[in-house]
Amino acid sequence: MYELSETNIYPCWHYDAGLSTSAATSISREVRYELYLDHQSLGHVIASPHHLDELGLGYCLAEGYIQSPDEVAAIDVDATSHRITLRRTSIATATMQHRNSSLIVDTTAKSISIGSTTLRSASIIDTTHKSSPHWSVTSEEICSYGTLLDSITKAHHISHGVHEGAIVKSGRVLAYAEDVGRHNVLDRLLGIVAKKHIDTTDTLLIFSGRVPDSVIRKVHRIGCPILCSRAMPTELGITLADAYGITLVNKLRPTEFLVFAHPERIIADTQLMHS
């Protein structure tokens, strides 16, 4: 149903109770590709070696290089030159710049993030496209996703070397991705959403990794109003989730979780929610 990450066997030495023995274990595969938009290099990506077309598409959408998958005529993945090329329907004549959708101004750090670059300056967050509050989910349903990622992946169990993410609705998985990089997972999901025209306005994104502000920014671009992670957030991640109207669920387990932003979407017993 899903294309999962590959692993290779590597020799190692196992130390236990002061004794050393030779051993072997599975390590997740990763590749380094250069990403191009038409003839311009956008840099290199280090990722798991599957569905690199979706990763390239999602990255360009997330970072504001393109606004819609309709702008892309073809995506070429060359395994010989290790090059991913997105070819647009019409090549822009002006110097390529990030559009406004890729700008984030953080209230706490007073910085603008453009891709992986941070510029110190402004002090507000653009919340023009905040997640809609008119949708809710039960705490029971959220807990039911506590083991979802483990039930899908095999690479994580074998190598503990990949992150995973899934977009779900009413117990159904609409999109799934895994990669050695947590940001790559989100770019892959955005690529899947764009290619399959998935409506994310009433979905949850189940995620395996830590949640800093860079993760929130990508989730906001995907459009899921609720993010549920098995890991914890950072302070800036909480701040940005609150500003974007994203319900932030962390430390997700089959019987419990924590909520750091916008709990109003979660239906639970009032006494328990405030105890």
pLDDT value of position 11: 85
Q: For residue 55, which of 145, 157, 194, 187 has the smallest C-alpha distance? A: 187
Lowest mean pLDDT, pick from 90-94, 135-139, 232-236: 90-94
Element spanning 13, H or E: strand 7-16
% of the chain at pLDDT higher than 70: 77
Retrieve residue 123's tokens. 């002090």
Do the domain assignments include residue 207?
A: yes
Q: For residue 202, which of 238, 226, 227, 179 has the smallest C-alpha distance? A: 226
Do the domain assignments include residue 13?
A: no
Do the domain assignments include residue 53?
A: yes
pLDDT value of position 33: 95
β-strand partners of 11: 24
User: Is it the case that residue 219 has pLDDT exceeding 70?
Assistant: yes
CA distances to 41, 69, 144, 184 from 191, rounded to whole Å, are 19, 8, 26, 10
pLDDT value of position 223: 96
Mean pLDDT for the stretch of residues 222-234 = 95
User: Is it the case that residue 114 has pLDDT exceeding 60?
Assistant: no
Element spanning 119, H or E: strand 117-120
CA atoms within a 13 Å half-sphere pointing along the CA-CB vector of 270: 0
User: Is it the case that residue 49 has pLDDT exceeding 80?
Assistant: yes
Structurally, the chain folds into a number of domains equal to 2
Q: Are residues 145 and 258 in the same domain?
A: yes
- Any idea what the CATH number is for the domain that residue 216 is in? 3.40.140.10
Looking at per-residue pLDDT, the higher value among 178 and 90 belongs to 178
- Note whether 153 and 164 are within 8 A (CB): yes
- Note whether 157 and 270 are within 8 A (CB): no
Q: Are residues 111 and 70 in the same domain?
A: yes
Do the domain assignments include residue 142?
A: yes
pLDDT, one tens digit per residue, over 179-205 is 999 999 999 999 999 999 999 999 999
Q: For residue 205, which of 150, 154, 250, 235 has the smallest C-alpha distance? A: 250
Q: Are residues 86 and 184 in the same domain?
A: no
Domain residues for 212? 137-273
- Any idea what the CATH number is for the domain that residue 60 is in? 3.10.20.10
User: Is it the case that residue 106 has pLDDT exceeding 50?
Assistant: no
Mean pLDDT for the stretch of residues 74-89 = 96
Residue 91 confidence class, pLDDT cut points 50, 70, 90: low
pLDDT value of position 137: 93
% of the chain at pLDDT higher than 90: 61
Residue 102 confidence class, pLDDT cut points 50, 70, 90: very low
Instruction: Please give the Cα distance from 162 to 182 (Å, whole number).
Output: 8
Q: Are residues 38 and 80 in the same domain?
A: yes
Q: Are residues 151 and 264 in the same domain?
A: yes
Instruction: Please give the Cα distance from 191 to 87 (Å, whole number).
Output: 15
pLDDT value of position 152: 87
Which residues 6+ apart lie within 8 Å of 164 measured at CB?
Answer: 149, 152, 153, 156, 176, 177, 178, 185, 207, 208
Q: Are residues 164 and 209 in the same domain?
A: yes
User: Is it the case that residue 225 has pLDDT exceeding 60?
Assistant: yes
User: Is it the case that residue 208 has pLDDT exceeding 90?
Assistant: yes
Q: What is the mean pLDDT of the chain?
A: 82
Q: Are residues 108 and 42 in the same domain?
A: yes
Looking at per-residue pLDDT, the higher value among 81 and 20 belongs to 81
